[in-house]
Amino acid sequence: MSTVTVKVNGMPIECPSDATVLEAAHLAGIRIPTLCYLKDINEIGACRMCLTEVKGQKGLVAACVFPVSEGMEIDTNSKKAYDARKRTLELILSNHRMECLTCVRSQNCELQALAEEYGMEEVRFGTPKEMEPDIEQSTPHLIRDNSKCILCRRCVAVCKEWQHAAVIGPNDRGFATHIGSPFGRGLGEMACINCGQCINVCPTGALTEVDSATSVWEALADPKKHVVVGTAPAVRATLGEEFGDPIGTNAQGKMVAALRRLGFDGVFDVDVSADLTILEEGTEFIQRLQNGGVLPLITSCSPGWIRFCEQYYPEFIPNLSSCKSPQQMFGAMMKSYYAEKMGIKPEDIFVVTVMPCTAKKYEIRREDQSSVNGLWDMDETITTRELAKMIRKAGLDWASLPEEEYDPDFGEFSGAAVIFGASGGVMEAALRTVVEILTEETLPKLDFVDVRGLEGIKEASYDVAGTTVKVAVASGTQNAARLLDKIKAGEADYHFVEIMGCPGGCINGGGQPIQPGSVRNFVDVSALRANALYTADALMKMRKSHEVPLIKKLYDTYLGEPGSHRAHELLHTSYRQTPKYPGLDADKNEN
């Protein structure tokens, strides 16, 4: 790539010729503030917080979109630029309900951080203290408060560009402009897939997940309840970020110690049911492959993806694996196998999971997710962020927590289960088991690197016992749509497909720790988190689901063989086509 030389605050910097002023300043070690900018997603120069002085330009330029040129002289610290940014910030604050002490994003708010940086001691315009909340809560996973929205449009961009949903956008004009759904409908009446990606990119407290921690605290305080918790594979790679650990730190041991100190009666790993998923899904794939079943088999671990399929691509419902997600399998096993083993009535067990995903809040109340005595498989699920808040509320000192192990009843799992949290991990885990079952040989190498990585779509072919097995992996439902369109058009032919609802997989789930734009734009957060999972897998003694002693025991003593009638009762589910726009369709039916 060709380069140019520019001067940033008097320092010569060589940068790519297609770089922006913002990127050139970053290469010089200088941060220019932004609020709306998200690299490759929302490059619109709307917030004007990045205004910068460039010699020869009559006015200030938006650094996030203004291209560099040979010999350009950039002054990021000029009084003209500083004053303009401060004035812009004051105008943004004038239309923002400021309740920083009680806001869910306090101390992790990009707007609050800029207000402190620019010494905002007063707001001369507007009456932000007198603004009333403007709440919309029609989905099981998300709360929107437009009184805190700064119209940066990041949420709009990710909903359209990453997730193919485009169910939100700017409504009205001028001072009345606000983010919402078409025709003033609630988000729950739209084709929202509950992924929570909009929450992850919001720079303020305008978007947050629905609180589930309160009911968990209530259960922990109830002496009649036996409260157990299971953690998702990806949470270990991200929880530490909430307490200042470097991105990509494996916090498994401290997380277990924290959960035990919060008062849970059992601290387990959902990785065990991820291993169960591989046995069930792998068996299902082999049966379809050998008996002429519907192919490609498509994974069903991600509830955001399932919601997307049911609404946007219902013709692929027969392709979905009938397996429940690992979360739902975990709940079912807790209220059956574990209940019997412990001599506890299933109705007295309160099952909680810690998930990287806001769509899990929707999933726990889906139809066909109650396999024991009509009880819901899951009682409650909290996000990684919610667990961090619980840890703080309990006064636990993260730095001082010891490294502890999961309880043994549901704490023995494989490295294959750990990598479920990264895009391609489910496929790789399945291949480790399926290939050995079909070939009846031990794999000389367990790393299926072709399906790893953060590309939106990955493809690979493997010779398995004389059969060429074609696989594909997609993450983010925009990429899922591209892949499914290729299959529909006859342009691609696969046997096995993994789809995750969030870009990069669960490591970038809608319930994960929020990183500001200043980090997201220049650091590959997903890659660092994924590396933590692959490193953990590489260090484990057991790296194949079908070789885990606990998994063998569960089948030998309780479930029977994979795919058995008992296994289907507990570990499998069903799907249904759902309308894209429930509210609008209801109106049509009434008329």
- Residue 349's nearest CA partner among 230, 511, 234 is 230
DSSP E strand stretches across 239-318: 266-269, 297-298
**Where are the domain boundaries for CATH 3.40.950.10 in the chain?**
221-571
Cα dist from 217 to 225, 231, 387, whole Å: 12, 17, 11
Question: How far, in Å, CA of 274 to CA of 276, rounded?
Answer: 5
What does the pLDDT look like over 404-423, one tens digit per residue? 999 999 999 999 999 999 99
**Other beta carbons within 10 Å of 78:** 15
Residues 151, 170 contacting (CB under 8 angstroms): yes
Q: Token match 């402190």: residue? A: 116
| Rounded average pLDDT over 296-306 | 98
| Rounded average pLDDT over 507-522 | 97
Does the pLDDT at position 291 exceed 90? Answer: yes
User: In this predicted structure, what is the pLDDT of residue 591?
Assistant: 45
| Rounded average pLDDT over 97-109 | 94
- Token pair of 354, please? 């810690």
| Rounded average pLDDT over 182-202 | 96
**Where are the domain boundaries for CATH 3.30.70.20 in the chain?**
124-210
Instruction: Return the H-helix or E-strand segment holding 456.
Output: none
Residues 357, 196 contacting (CB under 8 angstroms): yes
Does the pLDDT at position 212 exceed 70? Answer: yes
| Rounded average pLDDT over 450-465 | 96
User: In this predicted structure, what is the pLDDT of residue 584?
Assistant: 58
User: In this predicted structure, what is the pLDDT of residue 579?
Assistant: 83
Cα dist from 474 to 26, 454, 495, 544, whole Å: 31, 9, 14, 23
CA angle 64, 68, 70 (to 5 degrees): 170
Does the pLDDT at position 551 exceed 50? Answer: yes
Fold of 221-571: Fe-only Hydrogenase (Larger Subunit); Chain L, domain 3 (3.40.950)
Question: How far, in Å, CA of 388 to CA of 381, rounded?
Answer: 14
Convert 434-462 to b/e letters by CB count within 10 Å (16 or more is b).
bbbbbeeeeeeebebebbbebebbbbbeb
Domain 3-92 class? alpha beta
| Rounded average pLDDT over 548-572 | 97
| Rounded average pLDDT over 454-471 | 96
Does the pLDDT at position 387 exceed 70? Answer: yes
Cα dist from 167 to 200, 327, 392, 584, 585, whole Å: 16, 27, 34, 13, 15
Residues 130, 147 contacting (CB under 8 angstroms): no
- 3-state secondary structure (DSSP) of residue 146: helix
**Where are the domain boundaries for CATH 3.10.20.740 in the chain?**
3-92
Instruction: Return the H-helix or E-strand segment holding 590.
Output: helix 582-590
User: In this predicted structure, what is the pLDDT of residue 128?
Assistant: 64
CA 100 to centroid of chain Cα atoms: 26
Predicted confidence band at 126 (pLDDT cuts at 50, 70, 90)?
confident
Backbone φ and ψ of 90, nearest 5°: -65, -40
Predicted confidence band at 583 (pLDDT cuts at 50, 70, 90)?
low
Question: How far, in Å, CA of 372 to CA of 281, rounded?
Answer: 21
Does the pLDDT at position 317 exceed 70? Answer: yes
Question: How far, in Å, CA of 94 to CA of 128, rounded?
Answer: 6
| Rounded average pLDDT over 412-439 | 97
| Rounded average pLDDT over 539-557 | 97
In CATH terms, 124-210 corresponds, of 3.30.70.20, 3.40.109.10, 1.10.10.10, 3.40.190.10, to 3.30.70.20
Average pLDDT over the chain, rounded to an integer: 96
- Residue 326's nearest CA partner among 407, 413, 431 is 413
DSSP state of 304: H
Question: How far, in Å, CA of 194 to CA of 188, rounded?
Answer: 9
| Rounded average pLDDT over 165-192 | 95
Who has greater pLDDT, 583 or 115?
115
